[in-house]
């Protein structure tokens, strides 16, 4: 993680230090997300955007950053075969609530925001400003990560092709 991201998150949300230095939380780096990303990277991106939005719209910056960091705290690797019952898009917010609350504590507002972040692929609709912000931020970040990942892959393929077939440069 970039140092400036860490510094911003910890400065604006004191609990982010505890979260971002917890080996249990850092294991999210091993959980893939959106093809080219991982869950740690994705959660940090969502937290940064949530913090930015909260600052501009007079929201609770610390709480918004916290839900950004914790909204996908589920350790099931959906790309691998697993015996977890149900569909990932439905159960991972509930697991994130369970894990986030057990490790760092979540208030009711934060719990409800995480619960509906997959809306409309969720039974619960966002019913607060923070919940709407998390739902939108999560989707915008996902699109950005997929596009950025595709760009990175195409750059790597191009470099490889130029190395093995210099005549196509
Ligand atoms: Fe999610
Ligand atoms: Fe997410």
Domain parsing of the chain, residue ranges = 3-168
pLDDT at 169: 60
- CATH architecture observed for domain 3-168: Orthogonal Bundle (1.10)
| pTM, 2 dp | 0.89
Asked, as a colleague might, if the bond just before 120 is cis with ω within 30 of 0, I would say yes
Ligand nearest to the CA of 116: 1
CA of 62 to the centre of ligand 1 (A): 20
Q: How far apart are CA 23 and CA 7, in angstroms?
A: 18
User: Tens digit of pLDDT per residue, the chain (169 long)?
Assistant: 889 999 999 999 999 999 999 999 999 999 988 878 899 999 999 999 999 999 999 999 999 999 999 999 999 998 888 888 989 999 999 999 999 999 999 999 999 999 999 999 888 899 999 999 999 999 999 999 888 877 777 788 788 777 777 766 6
CA of 71 to the centre of ligand 1 (A): 6
CA of 72 to the centre of ligand 1 (A): 5
Q: Which residues make up the environment of ion ligand 2, defined by Cβ < 5 Å?
A: 72, 138
Q: How far apart are CA 75 and CA 157, in angstroms?
A: 31
């Amino acid at each position: 993680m970039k140092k400036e991201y860490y510094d911003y998150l910890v400065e604006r949300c004191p609990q982010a230090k505890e979260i971002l230095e917890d080996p249990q939380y850092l294991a999210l780096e091993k959980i893939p997300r959106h093809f080219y990303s991982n869950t740690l990277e994705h959660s940090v991106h969502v937290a940064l955007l949530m913090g930015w939005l909260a600052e501009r719209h007079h929201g609770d910056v610390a709480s918004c950053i916290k839900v950004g960091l914790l909204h996908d705290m589920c350790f099931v690797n959906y790309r691998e075969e697993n015996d977890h019952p149900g569909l990932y898009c439905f159960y991972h917010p509930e697991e994130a609530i369970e894990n986030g609350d057990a490790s760092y504590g979540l208030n009711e507002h934060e719990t409800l925001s995480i619960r509906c972040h997959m809306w409309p692929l969720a039974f619960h609709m966002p019913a607060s400003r923070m919940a709407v912000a998390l739902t939108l931020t999560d989707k915008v970040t996902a699109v950005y990560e997929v596009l950025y990942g595709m760009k990175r892959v195409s750059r790597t393929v191009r470099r490889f092709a130029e190395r093995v077939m210099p005549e196509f440069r």
